[in-house]
Amino acid sequence: MKTIFNKTILALTALAILNSCDAVQNANNTQKGAVIGTTSGAVLGGVIGNNVGNKENSVLGAIIGGVIGGVAGGVIGKQMDKQAQKIEEEIPGAEVTRVGEGIDIIFDENSGIYFETNKHNINTKSKETLNKLIGVFKDYPDTNIIVDGHTDSSGDDAYNMELSKKRANSVTDYLMSQGISKSRLTTYYHGETLPKYDNATAEGRAKNRRVEFGVLANDKMINDAKKID
């Protein structure tokens, strides 16, 4: 399991929020969730949303922007640690990143949710990954799920934006068809604006035709955690 905290530390330093960044860097995932929320609140969420989420992975901005923090954040963090570990066990090719109190999920070329050029239907291989994810999502019902759609750079901007929307909606529809409540799902789509691979190569374009995921605490998990706070 990976953590994204080096960039968080830079933001914390710039804001003069913490006296010791090393203490945060060496914290475990649960502690990091508590530290982010306690020290910064919505301000840090906005900073990280702008400096991390929009440029590298739009899910990250949403995750960090929704931080609760404090004891409640630590409680949520523990539950997210368990869910992240389960996803890694079920999908070895998933790159699972614990951020604050949430989970960011991307995939390698063997495990990802990928699409053919100009297509938005879910292929058999992608369904295998989705079915494994669905099993984990059902085991942890007190979470909300972000579905994030992308395209390569082929075609014009408007077409790609619509295509990424169709891809994200295809995945959302499939999740619902397998028993995931619509109320848990939020769909984002970005066209070709957030490539992770080189669109100059066929391999890079194939990897950019993707859907990724984020996981956040829902209201029930937050309220339950606050009762302990």
Asked whether the beta carbons of 36 and 17 are under 8 A apart, the reply is no
- According to the model, what pLDDT value does residue 195 have? 92
- According to the model, what pLDDT value does residue 68 have? 78
Which token pair is 84? Answer: 């992240």
Cα–Cα dist 170/123, whole Å: 11
- According to the model, what pLDDT value does residue 64 have? 73
- According to the model, what pLDDT value does residue 76 have? 92
How many C-beta atoms lie closer than 10 Å to residue 185's C-beta?
Answer: 18
Cα–Cα dist 159/4, whole Å: 32
Model pLDDT for residues 136-184, shown as the tens digit of each residue: 999 999 999 999 999 999 999 999 999 999 999 999 999 999 999 999 9
Cα–Cα dist 2/185, whole Å: 24
How many C-beta atoms lie closer than 10 Å to residue 106's C-beta?
Answer: 22
- According to the model, what pLDDT value does residue 214 have? 93
Helix (H) or strand (E) holding 207: helix 202-208
In the chain, which stretches have pLDDT less than 70?
A: 2-58, 229
Cα–Cα dist 13/130, whole Å: 38
- According to the model, what pLDDT value does residue 159 have? 96
- According to the model, what pLDDT value does residue 58 have? 64
- According to the model, what pLDDT value does residue 72 have? 87
Q: Which CATH number fits domain 2-228: 3.30.1330.60, 3.40.50.300, 1.10.10.10, 2.60.120.10?
A: 3.30.1330.60
Cα–Cα dist 27/105, whole Å: 21
DSSP strand E in the chain: where? 2-3, 94-99, 102-107, 113-114, 143-149, 185-189, 210-217
